[in-house]
Structure 1
Amino acid sequence: MFLSKFSGKKVLLLQGPVGPFFKYLAQDLEKQNAQVFKLNFNGGDDFFYSHGESFTGKMSGLDEFLRNYLHKNSIDSIFVFGDCRPIHKIAKKVVDDVCVEWLVFEEGYLRPNHITLEVGGVNGYSELPEKAVDFLSNKNKYFFSKYEDILEVGKTFWYATLWAILYYIFSNFKKRKYPNYVHHRSLQLKEGLYWLRGSYRKFLYKYKESHIQKLLENKLHKKYYLVPLQTHNDAQILFHSKYNNIEEFITEVMVSFAKNAVLDTYLVIKHHPFDRGYRDYTLFINSLSDQLNIKKRVIYIHDQYLPSLLTHALGVVVVNSTVGMSAVETFLPVKVCGQAVYNLPKITVQENLDDFWMTCCTWQADKERIQKFLFFLTHTTQFNGSFYKRLDECSNHTGIIWNVKDSSLRFNELDLHQKL
C-alpha cells in the first residue's frame, strides 16, 4: 500500500482541494503510523481542517516561518494541491533548499476516475515526460494490460460546488483572523454566486443545446475539430502556456482554422464545465467568426457528452487539457498548444498548428506506444478516486484506492521508478 511508505514519518499538509479531502488524507496517513501536521491560511482551511495550526502573518514572512517550522518539527514530506498557488510557490523555494520531499496533488491526468500525485511538481513542472521517454525507448519484457479494474467515480460537480461555496463563506467569515492572506483566486462571497450561476447555466445549456449532440454524431461525423477550453484562471494558462488569457488561445485557433482547414470542416469549441459560472465567450466567438467569415463553421457548446464528442471528431486542439489525454486514449490526433505531460512524439501531433488541420487527416496513431505510455502514466502518478466525493466501496477515509496499482506489479522487473 502506497501510504505505508510514510510510516514513522512526519508529514506536513499545506493547502488542499476545497472540501474534506486533506482531513481524510491525514486520517489515512495516521492509520499508517505517520505523524501529520497541517497549516491553515484562511477560514476555509479552518472549516475543513479544524485542528490545524494557523499562519496569520504576512506573505513576506512565510519563507522564514516555513524554514523554522520544518526544522522545529523535523518534517520529512509535504503534501500540497497544485504547485502554482502563491503559498506553494514560496514553500517550494524553501523545500529546494532543505531535504524535504515535495508531493503535489492535481486533478487526474486520466479523468474522471483518477487523481494525480507526483513528486517534485505537476504539469509544466513535472519530470514525467523525461521519465516516460526513457521508459518508451526501452523494449520492456514485462508489459501488462493498460489498466487494472477501477471503480467509477461518477458525477462530482454538485459535491465540488457545495465544498466551494462553504470554503468561500468561511474564508470571508474569518477574514479578521487572516488579514494578510493572499489567495490564488478571488475569495469574495460572490464566488459562491458564480457557482450558483454555473448550476443555473448547466440546466439552461442542456435545454438550449439539446439538438447539438445528434448534429455532431450524424451530419458532422468526422467533419469537426474539437477545442476544449481551460478555466479562465487555470495555471495551465497563467503559468504553463504562452497565452495571457483564453481569448488569445481561441483567437489563434480560429485564425489558423480559417486559413488552413478544409472548407467543409467545422470547429467545435467546448466551454469548461467549472468555468460555466464565470465566463461566456459567445459574443467574442461570434464577433471573431464574422471577421474571419467562418460563422457557419464554428459551434460553441457547453455540456455535451465528451466520449461521444471524441468518437465523432477529426482531431483535438488543446492548451493542456485532460480532454487531450482522453483523445490520446482513443488514438485521435491531438495538437497541444501549451505544456502537457503527454505531448510526446508519436503520441500527439508535433507539427505546428497551421499544419495540424491537414496533417491530422492522414496521421496514424502509434497505438502500441500510446498504450505503453498510458500504462506508464497509470502506474506512476495516478490513483483511483476523487477529491470531492467518497467511493462507497473503499474502506479508507479518503475513498482513494491507494494500493490499486501496487498489488501485483513487478516494478523492478519493469525497470520503472517505484511509484513516486
Structure 2
Amino acid sequence: MRADPARNVEPARQAVRPGARQVFLFLQGPVTPYFARVADALEARGHRCLRVNLCFGDWLFWRRAGGVNFRGTRETWPAFIADLIDREGVTDLMLLGEQRYYHKVAIAAAKARGLNVTVTDFGYLRPDWITLERDGMSGDSCFPKDPEAVMALAAKAPEPDLVPRYRDSFWLQAVWDMGYHLMSNWLWWLYPGYKSHQVHHPALVYMGTGLHILRAKRTGPRGDALVRRLREAGTTYYVLPLQMENDFQLRAYSPFFDLKTPIHAVIRSFSEHAPAESRLLVKIHPLDPGIRNWARIVRRSAVKWGVSDRVDFVDGGDLGAMLEGCRGVVTVNSTVGLWSMRANKPTMTLGAAIYDIQGLTYQGALETFWTKAEPPRRELWDAFIKAIVANIQIRGVYYKGEGLAAAVEATASRLDLTQGAWLEVRSRARTAPEAGDDLPGIEALQNA
C-alpha cells in the first residue's frame, strides 16, 4: 500500500527544562522485567515512575513502588487514565503495542496534553536490537518516508556496528510469556473488567505453537531440500512470508482483517501476471500456533487460481537461503522485508511498513511486481540502516542478562530529556492504507 504524504500529524511537545524531573507512566510492555528495571534506572536519575497494572501479569512483572491497579471496565478507562495523568503530573507515556485498546485511549489523552509518547518493541534489526520510537511504529512511525530525508539523517549518523553482541533466551521468553498470560487468565477475578487484546485463549496458542515447533523439525529439512532443488535447477521463484494472524502489524497497519485475504490476493496475482515457469513459496511463520490450517488454505487458493503445480507451502527451513535464491518477496509488512532487502531482492509491501520507501521497495501495483520490480538502491539501503540505528534502535535484548542490562541503560539514557539525549524524527507522514489499494476485488478475496 502506498503512503499518503498529505497526512502529517505533529503533536505539540511538552518542554522539559534542564534539571526538571519527568514523571513516567508505564502501561503494558514486553513480558520481562525490562520496564521495571528501566523505571529503577530513571528514578536513580531523579525522575518518578508509575505503572498501571491492567491484569495480574502486569503486576507480576512490576512488583515495585509506583504500581496502580485498574480493576474497572473499558467504559471507565478513559476517565481513569485522564484523571491519573492530570493528578500525577505525568510528562511521559511508555508502552508496547500502541494499537491495543487501553493504549490507544491513553495515547489520545497524552497527546491532547502535549505529553511525550514512547513505544518499544523488538528491533527492526535482529538479533540484539530494540525499537524505541516516538508515537508509534509502522503506520504510526514518524521516521522519514522521503528518500532524501533518510539520506540526510544518515549523513549525520556514525557508521553502525552491526556485529551481534548479545544473546537472548527464547526459552526464558516462552516461560515468562506463558506465566504472564496463563496466570492473568486464571486469576481474572483480580482484574474483573480487563479484556485482553489477544485473539485466542493462551492455552490453545501455547499448545499449538509447541506442536508446530516440534513439527517444524521434521518439515524444515523438506523446505531446505525444495529450495536447494529450485536453485540447482535455476528455477525462478518468489517468496510470500506469512505473519501471525493476531499480529497488530497485520490487524492495524494493513487493509486486511485476516491473513487469508492477502494469501488469496498474492496467489491470484501470481497466477495472472508472474512468468509462466516461475514458482511461489508461501512460508508459514515459525511461531504460528496452527489454529488455522494455512497449508490447506494455500493449497485451495492455488487450485482456485489454477496454479496448484506452481505454489509450494513451506514450514520451517533456512529463511536466509530461501531469500538468497529468490527473485523477489511480497509481504504485508513483515520484518522479513528487511531481510529480503539486505539480500538485495526486490521487495513489495501490501501494508504500511517503516521500510516502504521509494527506492527500497517496489512502489507499483502488485500485478506488475512480478516482472518489473528492481532490487533496492544500495546507497539508500545503507543510509536507511544508519538512520534507524542512530534514531529509533537501541542495542540490547529484553530477556537475558548482559543484553537486558544494556537495553535498560540505553533506554533510560534516551528517555531522560534533561540530558537532551533524545533525537526525534518528525518528518514522516502518518499513513493508513486504504482497503483495496493496488489489490483488485479485495472484498471478493476476503469472502473466498
1:347 maps to: 360
Cα gap change, 1:419 to 1:196, in 2 (>3 Å):
same
Cα gap change, 1:68 to 1:341, in 2 (>3 Å):
same
1:129 maps to: 144
2:446 maps to: none
Cα gap change, 1:152 to 1:50, in 2 (>3 Å):
same
CA deviation vs aligned residue, 1:323-371 (integer Å, no higher than 9, x gap): 10121222211011100111111111111111000013xx243111111
Q: 2:304 aligns with which of 268, 291, 295?
A: 291
Cα gap change, 1:305 to 1:258, in 2 (>3 Å):
same
Give how far 1:274 is off: 2.7
After superposition, where does 1:15-414 map in structure 2 within 5 Å? Answer: 15-51=28-64, 52-130=67-145, 133-136=147-150, 138=152, 142=156, 144-145=158-159, 147-154=160-167, 156-186=169-199, 188=201, 191-220=202-231, 223-360=236-373, 363-387=374-398, 389-392=399-402, 395-396=405-406, 401-402=410-411
More displaced stretch, 14-23 vs 243-252: 14-23
The amino acid of 1:157's aligned partner reads: F
The amino acid of 2:345's aligned partner reads: L
For the residues of structure 1 that align with 2:288 and 2:365, how far apart are their CA atoms? Answer: 28
Cα gap change, 1:249 to 1:140, in 2 (>3 Å):
closer
Give how far 1:404 is off: 10
For the residues of structure 2 that align with 1:6 and 1:291, how far apart are their CA atoms? Answer: 65
* Identity in percent: 24
For the residues of structure 2 that align with 1:374 and 1:95, how far apart are their CA atoms? Answer: 30
For the residues of structure 2 that align with 1:244 and 1:187, how far apart are their CA atoms? Answer: 15
Aligned residue pairs: how many?
401
Give how far 1:149 is off: 4.7
Give how far 1:253 is off: 0.3
Secondary structure in structure 1 of the residue aligned to 2:51: strand
TM-score, normalised to structure 2, is: 0.82
Q: Is the 8 A contact 1:80 1:104 kept in 2?
A: yes
The amino acid of 2:212's aligned partner reads: R
Secondary structure in structure 2 of the residue aligned to 1:275: coil
Cα gap change, 1:378 to 1:143, in 2 (>3 Å):
closer
For the residues of structure 2 that align with 1:183 and 1:315, how far apart are their CA atoms? Answer: 37
The amino acid of 1:366's aligned partner reads: R
Give how far 1:400 is off: 6.5
The amino acid of 2:283's aligned partner reads: K
Please list every run of 5 or more consecutive structure 1 residues that lacks an aligned counterpart in the other structure.
none
Give how far 1:116 is off: 0.9
Cα gap change, 1:116 to 1:202, in 2 (>3 Å):
same
Cα gap change, 1:229 to 1:113, in 2 (>3 Å):
same
For the residues of structure 1 that align with 2:62 and 2:100, how far apart are their CA atoms? Answer: 19
CA deviation vs aligned residue, 1:15-43 (integer Å, no higher than 9, x gap): 11223222222223233332111110011
For the residues of structure 1 that align with 2:413 and 2:85, how far apart are their CA atoms? Answer: 31
Q: Is the 8 A contact 2:128 2:403 kept in 1?
A: no
Give how far 1:66 is off: 1.4
Please list every run of 5 or more consecutive structure 2 residues that lacks an aligned counterpart in the other structure.
1-17, 427-448
Cα gap change, 1:155 to 1:269, in 2 (>3 Å):
farther
More displaced stretch, 258-267 vs 295-304: 295-304
For the residues of structure 2 that align with 1:375 and 1:216, how far apart are their CA atoms? Answer: 32
Cα gap change, 1:417 to 1:371, in 2 (>3 Å):
same
Q: Which has the higher contact order (CA 8 A, sep 6+)?
A: 2
Give how far 1:102 is off: 0.6
CA deviation vs aligned residue, 1:296-337 (integer Å, no higher than 9, x gap): 221212322222222111111011110101212222110111
What value does the CA root-mean-square deviation take over the aligned residues?
A: 2.8
Secondary structure in structure 1 of the residue aligned to 2:190: coil
Cα gap change, 1:248 to 1:63, in 2 (>3 Å):
same
The amino acid of 1:247's aligned partner reads: K
Secondary structure in structure 1 of the residue aligned to 2:382: helix
Cα gap change, 1:158 to 1:141, in 2 (>3 Å):
closer
